[in-house]
Structure formats: C-alpha cells, structure tokens
Amino acid sequence: MLQPGSAVALPLTTRARAKVNLDLRVLGRRDDGYHELESLVAFAGIGDELTLDPDGPLSLLIAGPRATGLAVDDGNLVLRAARALEAARPGLRFGRLHLVKRLPVASGIGGGSADAAAALRLLARLNGIAMSDPILHDVAAQVGADVPVCLDSRARLMAGIGERLGPALRLPRLFALLVNPGVAVETVAVFRALGLAHGQRLGGPDQKAGYGTVSAAELLANLARSGNDLAVPAQRVAPGIGEVLERLERIPDCRLARMSGSGATCFALFDDCRASAAAAKVLQRDRPDWWVKPTLLS
C-alpha cells in the first residue's frame, strides 16, 4: 500500500471497461422500492478512459466520440464518486480528471458506473488507499448499483441491489459482439415497465457454483438455460431492442444472443474472434447507425 505523500507517476490513467450482464434475474422488489437482482457479470476489452492530473481542485473534462450531451454537474457519476470519497475520507488530494467517452450512454453496459469506479481507483492510488480498503466498496455502493462490481472489473456474481459480490471468477474466453441501436434507455423506466409492487417477490437465488471452472461450451449451455428478466419490459420502452436481438440471433455462427442490463445494448457470443469480427463487419455495413463492437469478455 502506498503511503500518503508517496511518489506516484503522473498523470494517472485507467480504463473503464464495459460491464456485460451475461444473465440477469429479478428476484423481487423490496419494501423500500429497490429491486433485488442476481447476475453473472463479465467485462469487455473495450471501454472509456479516465486520466487524473493532480494536484489542484477537482474538475472534469469530457471528450471523445460519445461525449455529446454529457453534463459536468452534480449528477455526473465521476464527480459524485470523487465527492463521496472525500466525504468519507476528508483531506484527499484531487486534480483534473479527463474522461474519454467511447461507450454509449444509458446503454446497459455500465458506462457511467465504470467511469465512477475508475475515478475511485485513481483517487485511491493518488492518496495511498489500498483497493482492499472497505471504504472504496462502501462509497461505490453509495454512488450506484453497478459501481461496486466495476471497481476491479473482474467477472463475478453480483446480487442484492449490486452491493453483494461473489469471489472473482476466471471465466473461459468469450468472443462477443456488442451492439447498441443508438437508443438511450433509462433504467428507472424499464423497472417501471416491469411493474413489480413494493414487497413483491419472484423467487430465490439460483445455484451457480462452478461458473469459474467450466469450459466455454459448458458456460454457454448454462447461460442458454438462463435469461434476462428485464428484456421484455425494456423492449416495451425501446422496441428497437427487439430488432437487434433478431438480427443477432439470425447470424449463423451466433451461439447466444441476449440483452445486457436494462438495455439497449445487446451481445452475441461466438466460438472465435474470426466469427465475431465477420458478424461485426456485416452489421456495420447493414446498419451504420448502430454502435457495433467485437470484443473479448473475461
């Protein structure tokens, strides 16, 4: 662990990798209105990039191909994360944060949450806070449901409202294609469309032991027996999701097509990188207005 005042190479930079929900079950809605979930999460090889140039007051500059419309205000998750950490650990060193935004906004792959988690990692490194320090998890959970799992961006099971994390998993390599139809989907609208009453339960957690030790074929077979409980309500909010899933399912080499999170990003899984790259080329040709990225999930 670094001690406060230790020399740190400057500037500090980290990737904010896209989060992909390989499956997602809604277990019910608590009396306080929050929904309890269970999900197997993996992370993509693509994402945003965040740089911290200390010292000085906290500030944020956003650039990149997906920066349009993003506000630098009190609602920005990067700034919220930084200020929440300062409230929990007064006297932090700060500086200028520069976010290069490449992931679609409000797209079900945790872009904002990954950015917030990236800010916590950089500030922890600058201030000599170990990543194992419980304060980081506590602050992450305050900022957003997906922020805790994005802290170390490793495959694992997440449960509750995102605060309960299983041990990190070593999944087999998954060759994926991520596709977003260019529609921002608000999570709250999807849960509203799901329509659960306060206190309503849908079931208990699944038994998912062994996900970190199975082969790719076994993992795909397990995933085929699961699903995403938010897919149907999300398509009520954004019908274009259905077109994306239909297109992915029709690709001859596609082993599994599914929506991630609350949408609208969907993913397809393939046996190798050649198949995912070929599928990406076809989709990019046919739908140039869609965000299409082949990647590796781990």
Residues 250-292: pLDDT tens digits?
A: 999 999 999 999 999 999 999 999 999 999 999 999 999 999 9
What are 89-144's pLDDT values in tens digits? 999 999 999 999 999 999 999 999 999 999 999 999 999 999 999 999 999 999 99
Q: Torsions phi, psi of 44, nearest 5?
A: -90, 165
Catalytic residue among 23, 115, 146, 229: 146
Q: Is 33 helix (H, G, I), strand (E, B) or coil?
A: coil
Whole-number mean pLDDT of the chain? 94
Question: What confidence score (pLDDT) does residue 1 get?
Answer: 42
Full set of structural domains in the chain with CATH:
12-165 (3.30.230.10), 174-297 (3.30.70.890)
Q: What separation in angstroms does the CA of 166 have from each of 155, 169, 208, 288?
A: 9, 8, 11, 38
- Does the pLDDT at position 207 exceed 80? no
Give the Cα separation of 297 and 107 in Å (integer): 17
Residues of the chain with pLDDT > 70: what percent? 95
Residue 5, pLDDT > 80, answer no
What tokens does 263 get? 């949408």
Q: What is the 3-state secondary structure of 76-133?
A: CHHHHHHHHHHHHCCCCCCCEEEEECCCCCCCCCCHHHHHHHHHHHHHHHHCCCCCCC
Tell whether the model's pLDDT for residue 173 goes beyond 50.
Answer: yes
| Measured distance CA(112)–CA(262) in Å, rounded | 14
CA dist 46 → 16, 19, 51, 129, 294 (Å): 8, 10, 16, 26, 9
CA distances (Å), origin 174, targets 14, 102, 273: 23, 21, 9
pLDDT at 6: 53
Residue 146 designated active-site: yes
The pTM assigned to this predicted structure is 0.94
How sure is the predictor about 2, in pLDDT bands with cuts at 50, 70 and 90?
very low
Bond preceding residue 264 cis, omega within 30 of 0 = yes
Of the candidates 108, 7, 102, 106, which has an alpha carbon nearest to the alpha carbon of residue 118? 102
- Candidates 50, 26, 184, 34; CA nearest to 109 is 184
Among 19, 23, 101, 293, the one annotated catalytic: 19
Coil/strand/helix, residue 5: coil
Give the whole-angstrom CA distance, residue 174 versus residue 272: 8
